């Protein structure tokens, strides 16, 4: 709580200003001193509930509005009195914003992130890990600053730093997107007062992003990959890789969703079995994916025997999941069949499956649920229920069985 402690003539008094807001406290103190000087009233007669200042003043946003000449004069006096408060905090580098709180009370980046994660319980484990990695890197690059000292120039220098480390434009944009989310949260919660320094900082346009994205395999390329001597050898030599590859193609799951599977996440039904994806990069990615029972019959059932926990041997790496080793093996697989296009990567299998489903007549909504893609549509999000695993299998089994025949 703030107090006005002053002396009028020979009388000294201390009076509560009934607020913890430093700006409001100074405005009330100014008004109280004006009233004392002009009318010499009893201090107890002062009514704090009266809206004595009609002008609107927010120096952090550059807002100053007054109602008439007298109100304008009072507003200018307030600005003169408040200016030292805004100038006393060291000016942030590169155009950052000042905080109205004492410098020591401002939160640092990782502290703000902890608060964001604590409030946003809907963030997936993969998203939390990604956020922590990026914010930790950004904080370390800037030597652990308080968030109120940061500005546009700091984000620019971070982009340049990432570029010098040979990060691609897509990676840089993704990391800046994380910072954008963090600063948006900080603004809403009052930890940051200026405009978001990571806003509108994308290096890739939508058109560029599409052009620079991964390509999609042709059916001929898929057949050559799955019929290659390399893969036939791995089926015996490295069965984990073989079955990860098969499940990725049939399910369209991300590689980390497959390599991270545990035995309890597999539920067997009569015509199909279900992969219960419990950790994904998006909320839509947490789903049940039905797979034809034929996959069990061609060897996956034997592969699962005597396993009680993790289905595959790949070790989870913080921030990278457990799919990195499978991706490296896949690159060797492509080299063996002379596929050299750098835009054809492991993720291209997922893109091929989605494209194959579309060409096979699987409608947009069940396809999005199957592949774990978000749908930004009020009718879908608020007025419909998700398909059950059985319903989804009925809509996708024809395409999945065609993929099985292809490989």
DSSP 28-65: HHHHHHHHHHHH---GGG--TTS----SEEETTTTEEE
To which residue do tokens 């999000």 refer?
381
Alpha-carbon distance 59 to 82, whole Å? Answer: 9
Q: Are residues 279 and 396 in the same domain?
A: yes
State the CATH number of the domain containing residue 252. Answer: 1.10.443.10
Domain boundary residue among 180, 212, 244?
A: 212
Distance, in Å, from the CA atom of 99 to the CA atom of 89, rounded to the nearest integer, reads: 8
- Asked if residues 309 and 263 have their Cβ atoms less than 8 Å apart, the reply is yes
Q: Please answer whether residues 198 and 180 qualify as being in contact, where contact means their C-beta atoms are separated by less than 8 angstroms.
A: yes
Q: Tell me: do 227 and 184 sit in the same domain.
A: no
Would you state the pLDDT for residue 339? 96
The pLDDT of residue 149 is above 50? yes
163 and 118 within one domain: yes
- Residue 322: the pLDDT is 55
Distance in angstroms between the alpha carbons of the first and the last residue of the chain: 73
| pLDDT tens digits for range 216-225 | 999 999 999 9
* Top-confidence residue, 76 or 293: 293
DSSP 8-state assignment for residue 299? I
**Cβ proximity of 249 and 289 under 8 Å:** no
Which whole number is the average pLDDT over 129-149? 94
- Determine the pLDDT at residue 7: 65
Structure confidence by residue, pLDDT tens digits, 77-135: 666 655 554 443 444 444 444 444 444 347 999 999 999 999 998 888 888 989 999 99
What does the radius of gyration of the chain's CA atoms come to, in whole angstroms? 30
212, 240, 266: which is the final residue of a domain?
212
Count of structural domains, the chain:
3
Rounded distance between C-alpha atoms, residue 267 and residue 245, angstroms: 20
Whichever domain contains 164, its CATH number is: 1.10.150.130
Domain check: are 279 and 336 in the same one?
Answer: yes
Q: Are residues 253 and 129 in the same domain?
A: no
Stretch 321-343: mean pLDDT: 88
Q: Which of 94, 123, 144 is the last residue of a domain?
A: 94
**Shared domain check, 242 and 383:** yes
Which pLDDT does position 141 carry in this prediction? Answer: 95
- Mean pLDDT score across all residues of the chain: 83
Asked whether residue 184 carries a pLDDT value surpassing 90, the answer given is yes
Beta bridge partners, 7, equal 12
Is residue 271 domain-shared with residue 393, that is, in the same domain? yes
Burial class of residue 372, CB neighbours in 10 A (0-12, 13-18, 19+): buried
Quickly count helices (H) and strands (E) in the chain: 18, 7
Of 332, 338, 300, 347, nearest in space to 224 by CA: 338
Is the CB of residue 228 less than 8 Å from the CB of residue 332? Answer: no
pLDDT at 368 over 70: yes
Whole-model pTM: value is 0.63
Does 293 share its domain with 371? yes
Return contacts of 19-23, CB within 8 angstroms, 24+ apart.
22/85, 22/100, 22/101, 23/82, 23/85, 23/100
Paired strand residues for 146: 108
Contact indicator for 203, 169 with CB cutoff of 8 Å: yes
Q: Which two tokens stand for residue 346?
A: 């492991």
CA distance 370 to 288: 8
Q: What does the pLDDT average to over 272-276?
A: 97
Q: Answer yes or no: do 67 and 111 share one domain.
A: no
| Rounded Cα–Cα distance for residues 189 and 352 (Å) | 42
Residues 28 and 174 in one domain: no
Per-residue pLDDT, 36 = 64
How confident is the model over 7-24, as pLDDT tens digits?
A: 665 566 677 877 777 766
Domain span at residue 273 reads 219-406
Do residues 208 and 223 both lie within one domain?
Answer: no
Cβ proximity of 239 and 260 under 8 Å = no
Q: Is the pLDDT of residue 40 over 90?
A: no
Tell me the three state secondary structure of residue 221: helix
List the single range of 96-100, 174-178, 355-359 with lowest mean pLDDT.
Answer: 96-100
Are residues 290 and 376 located together in one domain of the fold?
yes
pLDDT tops 50 at residue 271: yes
């Amino acid at each position: 709580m703030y107090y006005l402690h002053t002396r009028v003539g020979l009388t000294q008094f201390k009076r509560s200003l009934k607020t913890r807001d430093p700006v409001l406290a100074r405005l009330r103190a100014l008004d109280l001193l004006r009233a004392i000087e002009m009318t010499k009233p009893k201090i107890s007669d002062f009514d704090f509930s009266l809206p004595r200042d009609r002008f609107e003043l927010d120096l952090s946003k550059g807002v100053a509005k007054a109602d008439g000449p007298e109100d304008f004069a009072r507003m200018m006096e307030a600005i003169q009195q408040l200016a030292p408060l805004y100038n006393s905090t060291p000016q942030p580098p590169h155009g950052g914003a000042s905080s109205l709180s004492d410098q020591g009370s401002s939160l640092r980046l990782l502290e703000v992130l902890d608060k964001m994660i604590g409030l946003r319980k809907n963030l997936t484990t993969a998203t939390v890990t990604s956020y922590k990695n990026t914010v930790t890197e950004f904080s370390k690059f800037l030597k652990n600053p308080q968030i109120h000292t940061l500005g546009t120039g700091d984000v620019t220098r971070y982009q340049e730093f990432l570029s010098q480390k040979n990060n691609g434009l897509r990676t840089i944009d993704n990391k800046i997107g994380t910072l954008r989310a963090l600063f948006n949260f900080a603004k809403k919660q009052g930890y940051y007062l200026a405009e978001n320094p990571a806003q509108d900082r994308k290096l890739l346009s939508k058109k560029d992003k599409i052009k620079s994205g991964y390509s999609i395999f042709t059916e001929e390329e898929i057949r050559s990959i799955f019929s290659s001597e390399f893969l036939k050898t791995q089926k015996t030599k490295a069965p984990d890789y073989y079955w990860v590859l098969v499940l990725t193609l049939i399910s369209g799951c991300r590689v980390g969703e497959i390599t991270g599977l545990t035995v309890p996440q597999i539920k067997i039904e009569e015509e199909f079995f279900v992969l219960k994806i419990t950790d994904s990069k998006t909320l839509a990615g947490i789903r049940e994916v039905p797979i034809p029972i034929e996959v069990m019959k061609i060897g996956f059932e034997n592969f699962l025997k005597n396993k009680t926990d993790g289905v595959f041997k790949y070790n989870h790496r913080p921030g990278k999941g457990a799919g990195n080793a499978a991706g490296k093996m896949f690159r060797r697989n492509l080299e063996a069949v002379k596929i050299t296009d750098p835009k054809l990567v492991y993720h291209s299998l997922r893109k091929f499956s989605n494209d194959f489903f579309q060409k096979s007549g699987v409608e947009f909504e069940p396809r999005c649920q199957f592949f774990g893609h978000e749908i930004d549509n009020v009718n879908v999000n608020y007025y419909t229920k998700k398909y059950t695993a059985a319903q989804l299998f009925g809509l996708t089994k024809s395409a999945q069985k065609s993929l099985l025949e292809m490989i």
